[in-house]
Structure 1
């Protein structure tokens, strides 16, 4: 790693802040999609019960999104960019390029979730609970990809890495389908 002119302790503090906000961002994304699933399944309730549940889910989703999840995303990205500013040599490494591609995927995932939240609020969402369960697993795959890129760095074996992510994706999709069959019984 190329050292910058800044204090190395500053780098470590910012790195700790980055990790903390990545964790809170991911927790928010995971819980948000779980709320979407419950919100969507509430449509099967009687109309009066759904109206009460809908109002409550809109409040819960809004607070989680605007107070925890979105600020955490911005702070995680800001801290990550600060790390790149302090140690610009990181941008010369292949693993960082891989990580940044997956992070871009996660940011896109974040904004798609925001659109889902707004459509659920307006009662115009067409997402089913099964589709949302599969959507939730995409965040898991992105998280795995980012962590493995960071931990393994240049030791990434692309063939095994890609095959591993594909296998993880297939396993998660099969688990969701298996869960659906159990629920239908």
Structure 2
């Protein structure tokens, strides 16, 4: 039974992350559509609203809920919680806070309010990547990881990721 519950947990983690990654891309495209002239603006925004609503309500939210159901179920079957899992749970809490921040952006964009520029959203999109790397490294490496090197590696990854976003912006603005 444990393997089935764990498999379901992993499946819903994957679909949740897929939703998170694509959701912010849609937010970016929707924000950029707001800057287009009519009638292109209205046509694009109507289509993006449909896509955003369906992705958020049919895939992303249910996946987050099922992840929250199956995760504690797997932990309950494990028994005592090792240190790496407690640290992982800290990142998972951060990921749910990130999810709730996307809920706020979702509500705004559904009302036609665009408080975040496409560049800010591109940077915000990478937060999910950082959580993904941290969580997967903790799950796979577990006790074999040096916490100092793990944090240094994560910090280095963040620097590389943010540098890539900045380089991409430079390339985009030159075109």
TM bracket (short chain): over 0.9
Give the equivalent residue in structure 2 for 1:77.
68
- The answer as to 2:151 corresponding to 1:131 is no
Give the equivalent residue in structure 2 for 1:62.
53
- The answer as to 2:171 corresponding to 1:150 is no
Give the equivalent residue in structure 2 for 1:115.
104
Give the equivalent residue in structure 1 for 2:6.
15
Residues 28-47 of structure 1 mapped to structure 2, 5 A cutoff = 28-47=19-38
Question: CA separation in 2, counterparts of 1:156 and 1:98?
Answer: 12
- The answer as to 2:158 corresponding to 1:181 is no
TM-score, normalization: structure 1?
0.91
Question: How many residues get paired?
Answer: 174
Question: CA separation in 2, counterparts of 1:125 and 1:41?
Answer: 10
Q: CA RMSD in A?
A: 0.9
Question: CA separation in 2, counterparts of 1:125 and 1:86?
Answer: 44
Alignment gaps of 5+ in structure 2: none
Give the equivalent residue in structure 2 for 1:106.
95
- The answer as to 2:149 corresponding to 1:171 is no
> Once the 2 structures are TM-superposed, how far is the Cα of residue 84 of structure 1 from its aligned partner?
1.4
Question: CA separation in 2, counterparts of 1:183 and 1:88?
Answer: 51
TM-score, normalization: structure 2?
0.96
Which range moved further: 152-161 or 62-71? 152-161
> Once the 2 structures are TM-superposed, how far is the Cα of residue 88 of structure 1 from its aligned partner?
2.5
Question: CA separation in 1, counterparts of 2:31 and 2:152?
Answer: 33
